Structure 1
Amino acid sequence: MVQTHTIRVHDRATGVSYTLEVQENRYILDTAEHNGVDLPFSCRNGACTTCAVRVLTGYIYQPEAIGLSPELRRQGYALLCVSYARSDLEVETQDEDEVYELQFGRFFGKGKVKAGLPLDED
Structure 2
Amino acid sequence: MTIRHRITVHWRQQGRTISHDVPEGEYILRSFEAQGDPLPFSCRNGCCTTCAVRVLDGTMDRREALGLSRELREKGYGLLCVARAIAPLEVETQDEDEVYNLQFGRFFARGQVRFGLPLDDE
Q: If the length of structure 1 is used for normalisation, what is the TM-score?
A: 0.86
Unaligned stretches of 5+ in structure 1? 112-122
- Kindly name which structure, 1 or 2, has the bigger radius of gyration based on alpha carbons: 1
Q: Please report how far the alpha carbon of residue 38 of structure 1 lies from its aligned counterpart in structure 2 after TM superposition.
A: 2.3
Aligned length: 111
Residue 2 of structure 1 corresponds to 2
CA displacement, residues 25-71 of structure 1 (integer Å, 9 cap, x when unaligned): 21000001111112110000000000000000001111110000011
Unaligned stretches of 5+ in structure 2? 112-122
The 1-side partners of 2:25 and 2:38 are apart by: 20
The 2-side partners of 1:17 and 1:68 are apart by: 24
The 2-side partners of 1:10 and 1:42 are apart by: 19
The 2-side partners of 1:109 and 1:49 are apart by: 18
The 1-side partners of 2:99 and 2:2 are apart by: 32
Residue 20 of structure 2 corresponds to 20
1:2 and 1:25 in contact (8 A); partners too: no
Provide runs of 4+ in structure 1 moved above 4 Å. none
Q: Report the residue type matching 1:92 in the other structure.
A: E
2:25 and 2:86 in contact (8 A); partners too: no
2:27 and 2:80 in contact (8 A); partners too: yes
Q: Report the residue type matching 2:8 in the other structure.
A: R
2:48 matches 1:48: yes
Q: Report the residue type matching 1:83 in the other structure.
A: A
1:58 and 1:86 in contact (8 A); partners too: no
Residue 97 of structure 1 corresponds to 97
Q: Report the residue type matching 2:29 in the other structure.
A: L
Residue 81 of structure 1 corresponds to 81
1:8 and 1:89 in contact (8 A); partners too: yes
Say what the alpha-carbon RMSD is for the aligned residues. Answer: 1.2
SS in 1 for 2:87: coil
1:54 and 1:93 in contact (8 A); partners too: yes
